[in-house]
Amino acid sequence: MVTWIVASAIVIALYILIYYNFLSGVPCRSDTSLKGRTAIVTGANSGLGKATALDFARRGARVIAACRSKQRAEAAILDIRKKSGNNQVIYMHLDLGSLKSVRVFAETFLKSEPHLHLLVNNAGTGAVGLTADGFNAAWGVNHLGHFLLTSLLLDRLKQCAPSRIVVVSSVAHCLGRVDLTDLTSPTAGFVSRLCSYGTSKLCNVLFARELANRLEGTNVTSYSVHPGFVFTDAFCDLGIVRKLLFLPIAFLFFRTPADGAQTIIHCAVQEGIEKFSGRYFADCAVRKVSPRARDDAVARKVWEVSERLAGLHRD
């Protein structure tokens, strides 16, 4: 019995040592205050979004939790207010799978909120099926919905500069391939689903890159982020068999949402990183991306196609 207790204690100690030294990532060390500043965080009701919103609230920001589920968002907001002591955390409905909902959100926000300094495009999905507008769900939510949202809010961000846009991507962008001729087919099968998710995350990186080029000289900067492998509610979409196989590994070796949010927070508040606008960050530092994610011609093409599909027209 004593042997088992000692062995268990050693295993737990080793796990803690490995997690906090190798798995948890690098914490954001900036103590920048956000008092007097307004931030939008999409998907702020859980996971990375909630952890990011909580940090912003603790720094004194007015935080708009842009979420699809009112019930889940309001529960999260009550928790964030309690933990931060900041009552300037409010819910606004946003369904990124509906371009109409994105437009309504932007219109409501612009009428009710005079300032915007931070936009965190965090919400995401790996779901199968199609959006309300008939696009592949992962691409439509992860990229196109955020593309339209950002475009509609750009003028306000410019008016409130210096301001920042943080796009939550993933190392999964390395699996992506941009095929702009087929954006309306639902995914079928685990591999196809993973590749579709990777493509949406590749478009996130390309979007942040092209956005930075278009915003040069405006004092608005953009960054794409890999938060690490994070244990979030996204794994609820897995089938029962995959859950049984995968969840124990994710629970033990993936980052907590608070740990995963550190690079998002870093890109939102760290002083002196403006020169890295358009770059890709992981563990609070600039990282290299796959060759596909460095192609400026493809980035421009993704922008042009997204602009057309989102119903935006250049003057």
Q: Rounded to whole angstroms, how far apart are CA atoms 234 and 124?
A: 8
Which CATH number does the domain housing residue 270 bear? 3.40.50.720
CB count within 10 Å of CB 21 equals 8
Task: Classify the phi-psi angles of 284: left when phi > 0, otherwise alpha if psi is within -120 to 50, otherwise beta.
Answer: left
- The β-bridge relationship of strands 38-42 and 118-121 is parallel
Structure tokens at 124: 């995401």
In a domain, 199, yes or no: yes
For the question of residue 197 being annotated catalytic, the response is: yes
Encoded tokens for 153: 């809010």
The dihedral over CA atoms of 31, 32, 34, 38, expressed in degrees to the nearest 10, equals: -120
173: Cα separation from own chain's centroid: 13
Count of helices and strands (H, E) across the chain: 11, 8
Question: Does 23 map to a domain?
Answer: no
β-bridge pairing 118-121 and 89-93? unpaired
Q: Give the number of domains in the chain.
A: 1
Structural domain contains residue 9: no
Please check whether residue 124 lies inside any domain of the structure. Answer: yes
Who contacts 79 (Cβ-Cβ below 8 Å, separation ≥6)?
50
Q: Which one of 91, 197, 223, 280 is the catalytic residue?
A: 197
Neighbours of 112 (CB within 10 A): 10
- Whether 95 maps to a domain, the answer reads yes
Is 57 part of any domain?
Answer: yes
The answer as to whether 22 is a domain residue is no
pTM score, whole prediction: 0.87
| Dist. CA 149–CA 103, nearest whole Å | 7
200, part of any domain: yes
Going residue by residue through the chain (315 aa), what tens digit of pLDDT does each one get? Answer: 556 554 444 444 443 434 444 445 689 999 999 999 999 999 999 999 999 999 999 999 999 999 999 999 999 999 999 999 999 999 999 999 999 999 999 999 999 999 999 999 999 887 778 899 998 888 999 999 999 999 999 999 999 999 999 999 988 777 778 877 766 565 665 666 777 888 899 999 999 999 999 999 999 999 999 997 665 665 555 556 555 555 555 555 567 889 999 999 999 999 999 999 999 999 999 999 988 889 999 999 999 999 999 999 655
Query: CA-to-CA distance for 23 and 236, rounded, in angstroms?
Result: 22
Answer for the pair 48, 263: CB distance below 8 angstroms, yes or no.
no
Determine the structural domain holding residue 249 and report its residue range: 30-309
